[in-house]
Amino acid sequence: MEVQAKAKWVRTSPRKVRLVARTLRDLPVSEALVACSFMPKAAARDVAKVIRSAQANAENNFNLVKDDLVIKDIRVEPGPMLKRGQPRAMGRLFSIFKRTSHITAIVEDRPGVVKRRSAALPRAPQPAASRPTPAAAAAARAAAALTPATTESDEPVAPARPKKPKAQPPAPSASKAPAEGKKTEAKKTEAKKKDDGKKDTKEKKSK
């Protein structure tokens, strides 16, 4: 089924529009729009608008699948010409013709004609040890989907490490204990002698 869309009085010369339309015939609509976006010509924007309009007409008015649409033809006809002039030397007038064009895009559905690209490009070969099998990868994805999301309460708590006992100072040996006792007794006797000497001097002074 053919569906068309028109754009009239486009301010571009028909010759420039035909250069773009010639390269888009018999292309899928999606590829034609991509080609128009990368073309370094100003007329490609006007042609892309007409193609999108024809695609929308086919999809909304006739319930056609947009992936099956192919550009059957793009017709470019000359429109009315605006005549302007530029003053030149010796009182002459240099004529300027501002040309317009009428663009008609015709699309039709061709099921099965559009070739869809593969989902992924081939990759470089990987070592067998690190590359999982398709069955294992599918099983891992299914297990990840079934397991619930972990929360703070579900996460395992690491057991506390036992604290090491502090090192105690070594006990005093038996040989040192008697020596320390003798020193303390000697200090006490010296203190008593000093106290007795002070008492004697106080008594002498009082007499």
Instruction: Select the more confidently predicted residue: 136 or 7.
Output: 7
Across 19-41, average pLDDT:
94
Which of the residue ranges 17-21, 98-102, 126-130 would you say has the lowest mean pLDDT?
126-130
Q: Are 33 and 51 in contact (CB under 8 A)?
A: yes
**Confidence band of 144 (pLDDT split at 50, 70, 90):** confident
Say whether 108 sits in a helix, a strand or coil: strand
For the stretch 150-172, pLDDT in tens is 555 555 566 667 776 766 666 55
Q: Are 104 and 5 in contact (CB under 8 A)?
A: yes
What domains lie within the chain, and their CATH numbers? Answer: 2-109 (3.90.470.10)
Residue 137: its pLDDT value, please? 78
Report the interhelical angle of 43-61 vs 14-21 (nearest 10°): 60
Q: Is the pLDDT of residue 95 over 80?
A: yes
Residue 129: its pLDDT value, please? 54
Residue 178: its pLDDT value, please? 54
Q: Are 2 and 57 in contact (CB under 8 A)?
A: no
The DSSP secondary structure of 65-102, one letter per residue, reads -GGGEEEEEEEEEE---EEEEEE-GGG-EEEEEE--EE
